[in-house]
Amino acid sequence: MANVGYVRVSTVEQHEDRQVAALTPYKIDKWFREKISGKNTDRPEFKRMMEYVREGDTIYVEDFSRLSRSLFDLLHVVDALKAKGVGMVSLKENIDTNTAAGRMMLGMVGVLNQFELDNLHERQAEGIAKAKQKGVYKGRKRIEKPENWQDVYSKWKRREITGAQAMKETGLKRNTFYNFVKMEAVSRKH
């Protein structure tokens, strides 16, 4: 279980010292720092951090805006961390998902996310219904786990390879890979 610090400033001229100082008391084991806009989640160090964290780890940020300036992106980040069993602490918002109050706040964020997902699914269902009426909807084929899944998953779990390497070895796309990881975690708990 690692304490992971994520520090981001928007420009090269800005300094990250204030954020680092705020997070230092939390005994950070691994730092991810970058000087790049937070307009989306397509950031090198952010991606490395998301690949690095494992179940039981906790990510520390000075405030949510360091992770994302977009509520939509932030909700997706929160969902991805929750699915991986990774905690998150935001100092400014005073949210720690490792505590009951933090989980409650995260639940409120989850309600907003669920509302957005419901709207998305509603629009998607309408589009599928129209496509079926036109006779052009074929549906989606189920993706099976690759033959080398257990070997690659074990190496990834032991941090011998990154998520990107595991995806390359299995030939899986990011969402499919992490869906299989979630299923693996559920099956091992039962």
Report domain extents, the chain.
3-103, 149-189
**pLDDT given for residue 28 in this prediction:** 97
- Whether the per-residue pLDDT at 158 is higher than 80: the answer is yes
46/39 Cα distance (integer angstroms): 12
More confident residue, 40 or 26: 26
**Average pLDDT, integer, range 90-104:** 83
Q: Which CATH class is domain 3-103?
A: alpha beta
- Per-residue model confidence (pLDDT) at position 82: 86
Q: Taking Cα atoms as reference points, which of 158, 164, 159 lies closest to residue 44?
A: 164
Just list the catalytic residues. 10
| pLDDT tens, residue by residue, 161-175 | 999 999 999 999 998
pLDDT score of 190: 63
The rounded distance, in Å, linking the Cα atoms of 40 and 72 is: 10
Q: In whole angstroms, what is the distance from residue 61 CA to residue 68 CA? A: 11
The predicted structure's pLDDT at residue 137: 80
- Angle between helix axes 71-84 and 174-189 (nearest 10 degrees) is 40
Around 12, how many Cα atoms within 13 Å sit in the side-chain half-sphere? 0
Q: Is the pLDDT of residue 69 over 80?
A: no
Q: If you write DSSP's letter for every residue of 31-44 in order, what string do you get? A: EEEEES--SSS--H
Using an 8 Å Cβ cutoff, are 37 and 167 in contact? no
Give the pLDDT of residue 164.
92
128 or 32, higher pLDDT = 32
160 pLDDT above the threshold of 70? yes
Provide the pLDDT for residue 92. 86
Whether residue 113 is predicted with pLDDT greater than 60 in this model: the reply is no
pLDDT score recorded for residue 117:
66
Residue 74 pLDDT > 60, yes or no? yes
The rounded distance, in Å, linking the Cα atoms of 8 and 14 is: 10
Q: Is residue 109's pLDDT more than 70?
A: no
> Alpha-carbon distance 84 to 51, whole Å?
10
Report the pLDDT value the prediction gives residue 150, as an integer from 0 to 100. 92
Q: Is the dihedral of CA 92, 17, 68, 165 positive or negative?
A: negative
- Range in 79-83, 117-121, 178-182 with the lowest mean pLDDT: 117-121
Residue 77: what pLDDT? Answer: 87
